[in-house]
Structure 1
Amino acid sequence: MDYSKDFLTELYKELVELRLFEEKLVEIYALGKVPGHIHSGVGQEATFVGTLATRKQGDYYKISHRPVGTAAIIGVPLNTVFSEIMGKRDGNSGGRGGVNHVALLSKGMLGFSGTLGSDMAVGVGAGLTIRKNKTDNMVYVFFGDGTANRGAVYEAMNLASAWKLPVLFVCENNQFAISTHVSEASPVANPGADRAQAYGIPSKIVDGTDVLDVYEGAKELEEYVRSGKGPAILEAKSYRWRGHFEGDQMKYRDASVTEEWMKKDSVEKMENYLLKNNYITEGEIAKIREEINAELDKAIEFAEASPATPEEEIYEYLYVK
């Protein structure tokens, strides 16, 4: 594919934004500013940035618990994202969702269930809405290699295929479901793509550390899905750099394997590509990082100054009135 400088630069900016967002999240969590646990997505940026580069206005997104910074890529304001993460009133859900349940319907970002896989049916439901509205929009449903083994996932994929709904299922294969390696949990090597045949839908496996490879694979499937032919499955192979949660000692992993995967850094890979082909300069790279860091710091300051959600308001939307 031929790419414009603007397109490549935007991809790089989003990679950097997602990486720095996740690093800032780890920092503020370590300072005790984030209630609950966080699940860092450092190392998996290319999967999300490359896939979502095919998005258009009016699409829907089902993001999982990792990485939460994807909300910013979709267009959820940083101020409200960090406020939500910190349990503050100015969060996009008034601080009720917290770090694992960031959602904003006005941006197409659907909520996330604490029971992995169960909410994929919500993504399929959004696909049904699109079909009834007769638009060329689609739904991006992200899930991990561990979630791929849940029964609700099969039901969602089966229905999406039977009704030819515009859904792109994206399997973030980061090799581990908490502490269980994919080889110990799945009878197939590719828990997302290898199962597509059972539903009669196309699939593609891409390098989750190469944003351009992810984009090209996603673009091919996106065109299929938007054409009205039905759903498809994209599987991106990457690696979770950090533990399942912050504080995870990762005794179940070989440190040398982690080190090898970290050498495939998607941000560094894209940076080198842009420099080699004269799309960007070292000075421009420094400026991009400086500007994004400043935006993130400003949003964190806003969230810190935001009032905490009062206890009496926490359960306000729990039941239908």
Structure 2
Amino acid sequence: MKYEKDFLMKLYKELLETRLLEIKMTDLYAESRVPGHIHSGTGQEAAFVGVLAARKPGDYFKLPHRVVSAAHLVGDPLDTFFGEILAKKTGNAGGRGGVNHLGRLCDGVLGMSGTLGCDAAIPVGAALTIETEGRDNVAFFFAGDGATNRGPVYEAMTLAADWKLPVVFVCINNEFAISTPVTFSSPVPNVMADKAAGFNMPSVVVDGTDVLQTYEGASKIVEGVRAGNGPAVIECKCYRWRGHFEGDQCAYRDQAVTEKWIEERDCVKNFEKALMEWGLLTEEESKKMREDFDKEMNDAIDRTEAAPEMTAEEIFDYLYV
């Protein structure tokens, strides 16, 4: 496929900023500035950027606990993003939820659940709203290979298929569910895509480390869902560079395999190289983009750390209302 320079540079900007945000979060955690865990998605950015390049205003997004920077990708301002992660009142939930509970309905982000996969019906409900209102939008549901094996996910797929609702089920297959290899938990290599036929859904499997291949596969699937053909599945094959959480030593996997993925399948480095070979990007431009966004993040973090925290009396506000 041929693409305009503006589109390719937009993809690169989103890919780069998502990577820098993921790195920034692990840096903040290493400095003991984050009250809670960080589940790093470094290395998996292309799966999200490529799929979400097919988004349009009015779509809904059920995002996972990794890559949480996707919330910024679809509209969450940095001050709100860091506010929630650093437990400040400027966060989307006033700092009550932390990194696993980013959500802003004005951006279409439906929130996150600490129990992965159990809330798969939420985007199905959002898709019912879309259908009722007669819009050509879709609801994206993202889950890892482990969460896709849960019963609530299959229930959601069954309901979406029965009612022919505009849901795009996206599996981010990074090969590990915490410490369990996908080969131990799935009888088929493509944990979600190979099962899609059982729900009468079309599916596509893409290289989740190649942002253009991911976009090309996703855009065709999303186009079909928007056209009223019912739900579909996208499976993005990638690899989790870091542990399930920061501090996980990954004793359950071969470090040499991880290093090979990092060296050969770095989605940002490989796309940068391609853009430079095509004459669309220079090293100086890339460096400036990094510096500019790094300043933008640091400024937002400074404002966030100066923002107020909840008082003890406010912790339970909105628990029931």
Q: 2:201: which partner in 1? A: 201
Q: 1:47: which partner in 2? A: 47
Q: 2:167: which partner in 1? A: 167
- Correspondences of 1:170-319 after superposition (within 5 Å): 170-263=170-263, 264-319=265-320
Distance 2:292 2:49 in 1: 19
Aligned-pair distance for 1:181? 0.3
> Conserved in 2, the CA contact under 8 Å of 1:83 and 1:302?
no
Task: Write out the 4+ residue segments of structure 1 that deviate beyond 3 Å after TM superposition.
Answer: none
Q: 1:137: which partner in 2? A: 137
Aligned-pair distance for 1:2? 1.0
How large is the RMSD of aligned CA atoms in angstroms? 0.7
Kindly tell me the number of residue pairs found equivalent between the two proteins: 320
Distance 1:319 1:190 in 2: 40
Aligned-pair distance for 1:119? 0.8
1:57-80 deviation per Cα after TM superposition (whole angstroms, max 9, x unaligned)? 111000000011111100110011
The residue type paired with residue 26 of structure 1 is T
Distance 2:282 2:41 in 1: 27
- Correspondences of 1:101-116 after superposition (within 5 Å): 101-116=101-116
Q: Percent identity?
A: 57
Secondary structure (helix, strand or coil) at the match of 2:100 reads: coil
1:94-127 deviation per Cα after TM superposition (whole angstroms, max 9, x unaligned)? 1112111000011100111111111110011000
The residue type paired with residue 198 of structure 2 is A
Aligned-pair distance for 1:266? 0.1
Distance 1:192 1:146 in 2: 10
Q: 1:33: which partner in 2? A: 33
Aligned-pair distance for 1:311? 2.1
Aligned-pair distance for 1:312? 1.6
Distance 2:21 2:121 in 1: 29
Q: 1:93: which partner in 2? A: 93
Distance 1:194 1:119 in 2: 22
1:25-51 deviation per Cα after TM superposition (whole angstroms, max 9, x unaligned)? 001111111111110000000000000
State yes or no: 1:120 paired with 2:120: yes
Secondary structure (helix, strand or coil) at the match of 2:169 reads: strand
Aligned-pair distance for 1:283? 1.2
Aligned-pair distance for 1:184? 0.5
Distance 2:61 2:106 in 1: 11
TM-score by length of 2: 0.98
> Conserved in 2, the CA contact under 8 Å of 1:12 and 1:270?
yes
The residue type paired with residue 255 of structure 2 is A
> Conserved in 2, the CA contact under 8 Å of 1:96 and 1:314?
yes
The residue type paired with residue 13 of structure 1 is K
Distance 1:236 1:120 in 2: 18
The residue type paired with residue 124 of structure 1 is V
Aligned-pair distance for 1:303? 1.1
Distance 1:63 1:297 in 2: 24
The residue type paired with residue 311 of structure 2 is P
